[in-house]
Amino acid sequence: MKFKTIEEFIEEYESFVKEWFSFKNNSNFTHIEKEDFWSALLGKIVTENLLNKYDPDHHSTASFETWLKRVLNNLYIDISKKIARGNWVPISSTDDDKNFEILEERFHVDKDTYEIADIDKDVIAKLVNNIPKIRDRILVKLKTYIDGYTLLDEKEYLFLEDTSDLRDVKGFISENIYNDKAGMKDKDICILLDMKKGTINTTYQRIVRKYVVEPYNLYKAKHG
């Protein structure tokens, strides 16, 4: 079975994948977020040209659905192992290029798949600015700093001034994020957004995968 575009696969098999995932996740002790799994699958499809690897003439005579279930199962196992090792989201990098280091850490861009020159920071910045909820958008901007591409706008500053007890929000942010670091520390984000420290990374991962990673992979699939 061949698909001309990834959108064709999504239209035909998104419900199939998510139903399989729900059954699998409910029967296992390892809890994986549905959107995280879906985003990981789309990333695998794009980076590995996965859909074209199905061979209908294979001697096993397996149907596309049977083959897809095997792919899903292998992906589920891989993610489960990464969660168990505690390194599903990398937090450090030895790459010398700061821009790439931030992208690799924060947006899960695989340096073995994309060359530095291929990463479109303008597209990523646009995706971040299109995150619908202002609180979610601010969280991503605070944890991600890319050459000024993820600066807060005045509306977002006003939101923080209304929700935090700080007298000088801009000064606090300037002191704690806008330098050569990849982003603001969780303890400082707690002060600005009144969040529990233990919830920040999980919330951040969910937002980024849904609104940045998945659409960015689709963009790369369309535009190369």
A 10 A CB-CB count for 211 gives 19
pLDDT along the chain (224 residues), means of 10: 78 90 72 81 86 80 86 84 49 36 43 48 87 93 74 90 88 74 78 83 83 81 70
pTM to 2 decimal places? 0.52
Residue 204: how many CA atoms within 13 Å on its side-chain side? 26
The confidence score (pLDDT) of residue 39 equals 86
Backbone phi, then psi, for 181, in 5-degree steps? -85, 160
Helices 64-85 and 6-26: angle between axes, nearest 10 degrees: 60
Structure tokens at 134: 């202002």
- At 17 the pLDDT is 92
CA dihedral (133, 138, 139, 144) in degrees, to 10, reads 130
Q: What's the pLDDT score for residue 113?
A: 43
Q: Where are the alpha helices (DSSP H) in the chain?
A: 6-26, 34-48, 64-85, 98-107, 121-129, 134-143, 154-163, 169-176, 186-193, 197-208, 214-223
